[in-house]
Amino acid sequence: MHASRSPNMPYLTKIAPSRRSLLLFAVSAVCLRLGNNIVNAKEAKAPPKPDNLLSPDAALKRLMEGNDRYVQGASRGDDFKRERPILVDGQNPYAAVLSCADSRVAPELVFDTGLGDLFVCRLAGNFANDDTLASMEYAVAVLNTPLILVLGHDHCGAIDATIKSLHDGKPPPGHISSLVAALAPAVKGSRQQTGDTFADATQQNVIDNVNKLKSTGPILNAAVEQNRLKVVGGLYRLDTGRVDLLS
């Protein structure tokens, strides 16, 4: 016996989705998920400072333009409050600088840069030892930094101490002797020149360390050969603030 239905109550029918529509729905969901994953991956890998993605030549040009502003007293004054949170999860400096620890030579100021722009190694005499080489390798291999500048300066105390130590035949006290040992080749090499020993030794030290960075394998020399990295030298003038490029 079938239950009767009221003529005013129509049958309630369920329309089952077709197999094709289910398949299309599943494919759409997968594509959407993949698309979101790709977008998220791109966002995760995006550099914090896109303007720092430069060729070696462009990086050097930007560095020297910053020095021009510094010399003219027209430094921009970056918004550090805005930059700090941007750089929390990463960095992509456009240049690395090996400079002296001298308090009168501050690369971030000399080149009018902001946070995250320069990867800086500083030690008295601006020479490349194992630690600074490793740091520069990190900058190039991991951070993709396209430029290294070895920055010496006039009236360098470390060069002066080395000249005096070699002249007097007496090692300096404490660990300062390690600085003298590292800088001695440049000082000895400058003696073959006819100019001012102090100035010549300062310049020779920069040139020697540029050559050392260029030729050190397996990371730095390969990057130079592939034109992904430029290594140059410069001298900072204390009286004017000007950086003169040597190579």
The series of mean pLDDT values per 10 residues for the chain, 247 residues long, is 47 49 47 45 72 97 98 88 93 98 97 97 98 98 98 97 94 94 94 86 97 98 98 98 93
d(CA 146, CA 23): 49
Amino acid found at 212: K
pLDDT of 7 reads 47
Structure tokens at 108: 């971030």
Task: Return the pLDDT at 41.
Answer: 40
Q: In the β-sheet with 118-122, what is the strand arrangement from edge to edge? A: 118-122, 95-99, 147-153, 230-236, 243-245
Nearest to 132 by CA among 78, 104, 103, 96: 96
Q: What is the pLDDT of residue 142?
A: 97
Q: Are 234 and 105 in contact (CB under 8 A)?
A: no
pLDDT of residue 16: 53
Distance of CA 134 to the CA centre of its chain: 13
DSSP 171: P
> Which sign, positive or negative, has the C-alpha torsion 182, 124, 210, 164?
negative
Exposure letters 116-152 (e unless 16+ CB within 10 A, then b): bbbbbbbbbbbbbeeebbebbbebbeebbbbbbbbbb
Quote the pLDDT of residue 30.
40
Query: What pLDDT shows up at residue 110?
Result: 98
Q: Dihedrals φ, ψ of 173, to 5°?
A: -75, 160
- pLDDT of 19 reads 57
The number of beta carbons lying within 10 Å of the beta carbon of residue 209 is: 24
Alpha helix stretches (DSSP H) within 101-196: 107-110, 130-141, 157-168, 176-190
d(CA 162, CA 180): 5
Q: CB within 8 A of 221, min separation 6: which ones? A: 214, 215
CA atoms within 13 A on the CB side of 18: 3
pLDDT given for residue 26 in this prediction: 47
